[in-house]
């Protein structure tokens, strides 16, 4: 087996036995990236030198018998919205194209403490808004299974680099499905933890009550190990759960006895691709063979998930993104040209004797904000800011935002009720397999429907995972979505492991 094919768990045992060094492993990943990322476009930045230096340092520590972290010497990719001290962090936006954070996010610090080797930063939809990575202002990412197709999004680069075997571990973030949908499109594993399980300190916020950072990998075991390395209480994030973090990697291989699986009747209706449905039903049959009991359940408010999410997420985004104004943060327009244009406008109003026009003119400061934001943000981000500003404005707040919060509560209560009867809820991750690049870019609503099955877990704050569970006749991966009650990631990982022991979907790889 080539080094790039190995899982993190396999690499760790080879590193521990001295069979390979971290420098060799890291170099294998860097070579793989150099060879194939031209076609895939998963990375916005590759940090060759830093990665090799870290790998050499870990090798030295290992040789000297020093204490080593959980991921000692294993290459990891990071979505480019996690602050990395001294390294550009762009959110795939022109707004932050040159932003170098003065500090690292908690998750990055934890990975460094775990002795992981960070090899690069991955492409994404701008500010994590989107489901195809086509909203990136800085590059295109394609699906390694077929480069005419999108990898999903917003963690499209994160999923694509795993599928293309460029790294064994990759960090994503999920506000409404951005870890799980790309995992499903690329045939890898992606877990959105419980809200509060992983610190958001140093994550550039999209919608703060929904955002979660989570692990992506090719196997359940690796996902468990990776989550263990990044999770845990952090006093710097006031929403971080102050609970002990289980050792996920120690329990992942323990099968779940008497598992009760909930099938949501609302999940199998209109809009679901028939081949996706077939794979999901076959996966459920695998669990039945393993002794699980299937229970039909209903989540009656699920149908309001998309509407609720697309009010709450843009509302929070409009508030979070207010800081990018060219003064506090972000791209600033060219001031000399801006002032010249403002002067010309003034002269035109004066020549026309337009008093009102003169009165309504921007001050230079307001014009600087306005123009910097107009230049820095892409169309989808602007759409969200406008939507969110509208739903939060006086007169509409009650009708939209407040109502959405009430529906959010009902969605959560549906889950509370369902989890009295079942242990996990199982269904499709996305309504369809990967789609053609460009096919949904002019239809935002079609793009929003990608999140049909995933947004409710974010609204309820519960953990959810996507694992590969089949292939379409066209050779594209299908993802199985599993949801569990808050703080029960362990249950999802064990269920995923059980499935992977029985099947080989996760071992399939695209030929590049
Ligand atoms: N596709 C969803 C959106 O565009 C989810 C994004 C995410 O989870 N970051 O908002």
493 CA to centre of ligand 1 in angstroms = 23
Q: Is residue 19 over pLDDT 90?
A: yes
- Express each pLDDT in 171-195 by its tens digit: 999 999 999 999 999 999 999 999 9
Q: Which atom, in ligand 1's list, is nearest to the CA of 177?
A: 8
Q: Does residue 305 have its Cβ closer than 6 Å to ligand 1?
A: no
- Express each pLDDT in 342-353 by its tens digit: 999 999 999 999
Q: Is residue 356 over pLDDT 90?
A: yes
Q: What is the mean pLDDT of the chain?
A: 97
Q: What percent of the chain has pLDDT over 90?
A: 99
Query: Of the listed 132, 170, 178, 372, which one is catalytic?
Result: 178
- Express each pLDDT in 101-143 by its tens digit: 999 999 999 999 999 999 999 999 999 999 999 999 999 999 9
- Express each pLDDT in 252-285 by its tens digit: 999 999 999 999 999 998 899 999 999 999 999 9
Question: What pLDDT sits at residue 3?
Answer: 97
Burial of 415 (0-12, 13-18, 19+ CB in 10 A): buried
Question: What pLDDT sits at residue 241?
Answer: 97
Residue 154 falls in the annotated catalytic set: yes
Nearest CA to 123 among 93, 166, 100? Answer: 93
Q: Which atom, in ligand 1's list, is nearest to the CA of 174?
A: 8
Closest Cα to atom 10, ligand 1: which residue?
129
CA-to-CA distance for 373 and 288, rounded, in angstroms? 53
Strand partners, 121: 45, 78
Q: Does residue 495 have its Cβ closer than 6 Å to ligand 1?
A: no
Nearest CA to 303 among 414, 391, 181? Answer: 414
Name the band, by pLDDT with cuts 50, 70 and 90, for residue 451.
Answer: very high
- Express each pLDDT in 385-430 by its tens digit: 999 999 999 999 999 999 999 999 999 999 999 999 999 999 999 9
Q: Which atom, in ligand 1's list, is nearest to the CA of 380?
A: 4
Residue 217 backbone phi and psi in degrees, to 5: -160, -175
Question: What pLDDT sits at residue 85?
Answer: 98
Residues 172 and 79 sit within 8 Å (Cβ to Cβ): yes
Question: What pLDDT sits at residue 100?
Answer: 97
278 CA to centre of ligand 1 in angstroms = 26
Which residue among 122, 125, 136 has the greatest number of ligand 1 atoms within 8 angstroms of its CB, and so is best to mutate? 125
Strand partners, 214: 172
Question: What pLDDT sits at residue 70?
Answer: 98
Q: Is residue 10 over pLDDT 90?
A: yes
- Express each pLDDT in 454-489 by its tens digit: 999 999 999 999 999 999 999 999 999 999 999 999
Q: Does residue 451 have its Cβ closer than 6 Å to ligand 1?
A: yes
Residue 192: helix, strand or coil by DSSP? strand
Residues 73 and 137 sit within 8 Å (Cβ to Cβ): no
The residues of the chain that CATH labels 3.90.1300.10 are: 3-257+491-507
Alpha carbon distances (Å) from 118 to 23, 54, 80, 188, 492: 12, 8, 12, 19, 26
95 CA to centre of ligand 1 in angstroms = 19
Closest Cα to atom 5, ligand 1: which residue?
176
Judge: domain 3-257+491-507, CATH 3.40.50.150: no
CB environment 311-327: b (16+ within 10 A), e (fewer): bbbbbbbbbbbeebbbe
Question: What pLDDT sits at residue 258?
Answer: 96
Residue 178 falls in the annotated catalytic set: yes
Q: Which atom, in ligand 1's list, is nearest to the CA of 207?
A: 9
């Amino acid at each position: 087996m080539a080094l790039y094919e190995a899982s993190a768990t396999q690499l760790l045992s080879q590193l521990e036995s001295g069979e390979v060094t971290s420098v060799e492993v890291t170099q294998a990943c860097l070579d793989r990236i150099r060879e194939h990322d031209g076609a895939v476009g998963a990375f916005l930045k590759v940090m060759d030198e830093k990665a090799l230096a870290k790998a050499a340092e870990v090798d030295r520590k290992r040789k000297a018998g020093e204490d080593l972290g959980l991921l000692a010497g294993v290459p990891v990719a990071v979505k480019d919205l996690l602050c990395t001290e001294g390294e550009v962090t762009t959110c795939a936006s022109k707004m932050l194209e040159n932003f170098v954070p003065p500090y690292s996010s908690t998750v990055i610090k934890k990975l460094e403490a775990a002795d992981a080797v960070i090899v690069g930063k991955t492409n994404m939809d701008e500010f994590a808004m989107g489901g195809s990575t086509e909203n990136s202002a800085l590059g295109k990412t394609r699906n390694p299974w077929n480069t005419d197709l999108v990898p999903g999004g917003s963690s499209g680069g994160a999923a694509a680099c795993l599928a293309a075997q460029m790294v064994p571990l990759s960090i994503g973030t999920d506000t409404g499905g951005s870890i799980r949908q790309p995992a499903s499109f690329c045939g890898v594993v992606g877990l959105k933890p419980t809200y509060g399980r992983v610190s958001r300190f140093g994550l550039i916020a999209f919608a703060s009550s929904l955002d979660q950072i989570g692990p992506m990998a090719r196997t359940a075991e690796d996902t468990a190990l990776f989550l263990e390395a990044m999770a845990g209480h952090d006093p710097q994030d006031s929403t971080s759960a102050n609970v002990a973090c289980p050792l996920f990697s120690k329990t992942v291989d323990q099968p779940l006895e008497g598992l009760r699986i909930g099938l949501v009747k609302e999940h199998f209706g209109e809009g679901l691709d028939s081949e996706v449905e077939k794979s999901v039903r076959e996966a459920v049959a695998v669990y039945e063979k393993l002794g699980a009991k299937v229970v039909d359940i209903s989540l009656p408010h699920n149908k309001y998930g998309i509407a609720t999410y697309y009010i709450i997420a843009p509302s929070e985004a409009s508030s979070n993104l207010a800081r990018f104004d060219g003064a506090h943060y972000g791209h600033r327009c060219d001031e000399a040209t801006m002032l010249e244009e403002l002067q010309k406008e003034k002269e035109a109003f004066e020549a026309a004797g337009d008093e009102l026009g003169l009165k309504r003119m921007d001050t230079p400061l307001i014009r600087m904000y306005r123009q910097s934001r107009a230049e820095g943000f892409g169309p989808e981000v602007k759409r969200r800011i406008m939507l969110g500003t509208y739903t939060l404005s006086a007169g509409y707040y009650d009708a939209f935002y407040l109502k959405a919060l009430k529906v959010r509560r009902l969605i959560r209560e549906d889950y509370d009720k369902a989890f009295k009867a079942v242990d996990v809820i199982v269904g499709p991750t996305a309504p369809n397999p990967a789609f053609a690049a460009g096919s949904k870019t002019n239809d935002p609503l079609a793009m929003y429907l990608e999140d049909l099955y995933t947004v409710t877990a974010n609204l309820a704050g519960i953990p959810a995972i996507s694992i590969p569970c089949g292939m379409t006749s066209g050779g594209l991966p299908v993802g199985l979505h599993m949801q569990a009650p808050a703080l029960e990631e362990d249950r999802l990982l064990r269920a995923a492991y059980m499935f992977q022991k029985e099947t080989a979907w996760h071992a399939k790889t695209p030929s590049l």
